[in-house]
Amino acid sequence: MSSYSIESLEQYFKVYRRSVQKPKKFWGKIADENFTWYQKWDKVLEFDMQKAEFTWFKNAKLNITKNCIDRHLANKGDKNALIFEPNDPNEPARTYTYNQLYTEVCKLANVLKEQGVKKGDRVCIYLPMIPELAFSILACARIGAIHSVVFGGFSANALSTRINDSTSKVLITSDGGYRGAKTIDLKKIADEALKNSPSVEKVLVVNRTNQEINMQEGRDLWLQPLIDQAESTNVAEIMDAEDPLFILYTSGSTGKPKGMLHTTAGYMVFTAYTFKNIFNYNNDDIYWCTADIGWITGHSYIVYGPLLNGATTVIFEGIPSYPTYSRFWEVIEKHQVTQFYTAPTAIRSLAKEKVEYVQKFKMKSLKVIGSVGEPINEEAWHWYNDHVGGKVCPLVDTWWQTETGGILISAIPFVTPTKPTYASLPLPGIKPVIMDDLRNEIEVNQKSGSLCFDFPWPGIARSIWGDHQRYIDTYFTKFPGKYFSGDGALRDEVGYYRITGRVDDVVIVSGHNLGTAPIEDSINQHQAVAESAIVAFPHEIKGNALYGFVVIKEAGLWRDQNNLRKEINQLISDQIGAIAKLDKIQFVTGLPKTRSGKIMRRILRAIAEGGDYDFGDTTTLLNPEIVEEIKTGRIAP
């Protein structure tokens, strides 16, 4: 077990050196010593970076749910696997032991089978943050179906697009969901989506809110009666190491979302190993990650990583501000949480409230606190460190992506000294490189460039569902022989990495990945709109917010600009979801373009950000006069 758990900085450096010199030996040993296999591998790794082909643990056979559940039953059957904390603090929390989790997952697996789901079929899951979301994921994995979870905040149109791209056969949803003071009509949204999604044959509906819903005869079934009748054991499907485990959509620089494909064995080994080390997980810990399971953070570090380690993981249905700004801190005290993992945007929103909200609660149980999803600014870092971590809990700033499957750069608590705003050092087996635009490696410290990786790790995505060429083009072409993350980064003199933000057309708003292209596509569907360009500008709480420059077709016809703004945001909300709405919309008569017709976004970015405009070289602009107009009409904060 020596390389599995890292306990000193000296050991980290030793393990790191070994891991990058002999990565196959390193990962092979971890896989060998810490998991249950039906059959071990012939080869730890085969890969071709140019073709984006990766085979980890070739020909090994396993089932990930045997590793998440079954193998813990003998010693930890009565230990809590899940603690469900509902949205409403007056509703009692629910717990599920590993024994109970086993039964729930087996029953649901049997239901799916009865409904005709087979190995390799896609099952779309559109649920609020309730235990059934975790059961559904694991039930799919149990029978070898590929789960595709769609975040519950997405619109009907976004859901439909994702169901169609993955050609999902079954949809698991609920009547509704609670979110703060609101109720979300999930089934109604799903019904709307299904009008355009013919691949779905069956809809299984969880009862959460008891609200009136429409049930379509022959297609829609309440889940509970089926569960009640299902057998409570299930023989897990034997999966190949490289059989697909799930698809999870992430934004890209074209309108179509990218269905990142993750496979079984590598993802398992990687999430388990990173969870153990980055959260300093020990047997009696109560671990809580506040992300939604609809994002990769929830997949890897609410469900798979913790359960693979036999941990107790909290599933929280609510939001940080409901019923008060104390909700997070109250839950930490209530369940004696030992590891707390959240996003900078949540921290910033809570830090602006009175400090009594956090001081009222005893959070002595906390041992490690974590951050994920976007760069954490210095102020938020200190607030989090001082008021939540009480200056004694290491704060791990974890850098990773949907595409990476698990954390690649992070401090290891009690091992790596932390430094505000720096994600710090790569995990063992991970080889970051920073590249300049001429594809040279940047050796000089403190100069930022594109963050790339030189060597595959077990959790790397294997493809984009249905479009391997797009996978190659997006991640493996700009810097041949390397994985390109789309992020910028720099390295300090001791080798710590600092993430400087996206360098492509993706914007991170409140920790959510949004592509500007799909938002522009939605806006352009409005009959008054000729074209549009979206850029990000810094926002105190959300990190980034969106600023839209919109060209109207016939300005005279559209005098009620506020109404038009509302319509545009409604359109975005319908097409993508409320998370993608614009904070500012400026109507313009044209966009700055190069002679080849390309929008010069850096000019728009500079205007959106404000300050003293340094536009750089604008001599290649086709329409330089437009810049003055846009500047004059800028919407100030």
Query: What is the closest distance, in whole angstroms, from the C-beta atom of residue 601 to ligand WTA in the complex?
Result: 17
**Contact predicate 439/433, CB 8 Å:** no
Query: What is the closest distance, in whole angstroms, from the C-beta atom of residue 271 to ligand WTA in the complex?
Result: 12
H-helix segments, 115-177: 131-143, 156-166
| CB nearer to ligand WTA: pick between 135 and 341 | 341
Residue type, 156: A
- Residue 225 parent element (H or E): helix 223-229
* Residue with the CB atom nearest ligand WTA in the bound state: 402
C-alpha 127/C-alpha 105 separation (Å) is 16
Q: Under DSSP, is residue 149 helix (H, G, I), strand (E, B) or coil? A: strand
Torsion angles phi and psi, residue 35, rounded to 5: -140, 170
C-alpha 413/C-alpha 338 separation (Å) is 13
Piece of 99-107, 199-207, 211-219, 373-381 that binds ligand WTA (CB under 6 A): 373-381
C-alpha 101/C-alpha 245 separation (Å) is 19
Query: What is the closest distance, in whole angstroms, from the C-beta atom of residue 553 to ligand WTA in the complex?
Result: 35
Piece of 159-167, 192-200, 479-487, 602-610 that binds ligand WTA (CB under 6 A): 479-487
Contact between 296 and ligand WTA per CB under 6 A: yes
Contact between 289 and ligand WTA per CB under 6 A: no
Applying CB under 6 A, what is the total number of residues that bind ligand WTA?
Answer: 22
Compose the 158-197 pattern: x for residues touching ligand WTA by CB under 6 A, - for all others.
----------------------------------------
- Residue 423 parent element (H or E): none
**Contact predicate 508/295, CB 8 Å:** no
> How does 349-361 read in b/e, with b if 16+ C-beta sit within 10 Å?
bbbeeeeebbeeb
Compose the 509-548 pattern: x for residues touching ligand WTA by CB under 6 A, - for all others.
----x-----------------------------------
Give 416's DSSP letter.
Answer: S
* Structure tokens given for 291: 């992300």
**Contact predicate 350/328, CB 8 Å:** yes
Q: Which residue of 68, 200, 314, 508 would you call a contact of ligand WTA, by CB under 6 A?
A: 508
Contact between 230 and ligand WTA per CB under 6 A: no
* Structure tokens given for 109: 């697996």
> How does 122-140 read in b/e, with b if 16+ C-beta sit within 10 Å?
bbbbbbbbbbbbbbbbbbb
177-179 and 368-372 beta bridge pairing: unpaired
Query: What is the closest distance, in whole angstroms, from the C-beta atom of residue 393 to ligand WTA in the complex?
Result: 17
Query: What is the closest distance, in whole angstroms, from the C-beta atom of residue 471 to ligand WTA in the complex?
Result: 15
Give residue for tokens 């570090």. 301
Contact between 486 and ligand WTA per CB under 6 A: yes
Piece of 113-121, 189-197, 348-356, 397-405 that binds ligand WTA (CB under 6 A): 397-405
Contact between 424 and ligand WTA per CB under 6 A: no
Compose the 28-57 pattern: x for residues touching ligand WTA by CB under 6 A, - for all others.
------------------------------
Which bin fits 204, alpha (ψ -120 to 50), beta or left (φ > 0)? beta
Piece of 112-120, 369-377, 472-480, 521-529 that binds ligand WTA (CB under 6 A): 369-377
Contact between 375 and ligand WTA per CB under 6 A: yes
Compose the 322-361 pattern: x for residues touching ligand WTA by CB under 6 A, - for all others.
----------------------------------------
Q: Which residue of 3, 166, 401, 463 would you call a contact of ligand WTA, by CB under 6 A?
A: 401
Kindly report the CA angle at 321 between 319 and 327, in degrees rounded to 5? 80
C-alpha 537/C-alpha 583 separation (Å) is 10
C-alpha 318/C-alpha 3 separation (Å) is 37
Q: Which residue of 86, 152, 153, 373 would you call a contact of ligand WTA, by CB under 6 A?
A: 373
Q: Which residue of 295, 304, 340, 422 would you call a contact of ligand WTA, by CB under 6 A?
A: 295
Query: What is the closest distance, in whole angstroms, from the C-beta atom of residue 9 to ligand WTA in the complex?
Result: 21
Query: What is the closest distance, in whole angstroms, from the C-beta atom of residue 34 to ligand WTA in the complex?
Result: 23
Residues that bind ligand WTA (CB under 6 A): 250, 295-297, 372-375, 397-402, 423, 485-487, 499, 502, 508, 513
